Amino acid sequence: MCEPGIDFVPLTEAAQLLDTTEVRVVTMLENNELQGKMVANAWQVDRTSITPGDRPKSADIASPGGCGICGSGCGGGC
């Protein structure tokens, strides 16, 4: 399934390692921020491309006007 010497992890595990969602990991793969490949219609992420600096910031996933935590734009500093 994987090339010798290369350590791939399933999409779910990559999301857990990055403390983010599977959707965000797919976006990172599509933007070449992570390396991976499709195997039997499922993403496999190259573990060596996952580094602590890859963790998305709240601002990366917040909705426009949102605080980045709740995303509601409440302005309450939540």
- Please state the domain extents for the chain: 1-78
Going across the sheet that includes 8-10, the strands are 8-10, 42-46, 36-39
What per-residue confidence (pLDDT) applies to 21? 94
Report d(CA 50, CA 69) in Å as an integer. 23
Two structure tokens written together for 70:
């709740």
Helices (H) and strands (E) in the chain, counts: 3, 3
Two structure tokens written together for 77:
């500093």
What per-residue confidence (pLDDT) applies to 71? 53
The one-digit pLDDT tens for each residue of the chain (78 residues) are 445 447 999 999 999 999 899 999 999 999 999 999 999 999 999 999 987 665 655 555 555 555 555 555 555 555
What per-residue confidence (pLDDT) applies to 6? 72
What per-residue confidence (pLDDT) applies to 60? 54
> Does the pTM of the predicted model rise above 0.85?
no
Report d(CA 63, CA 51) in Å as an integer. 25
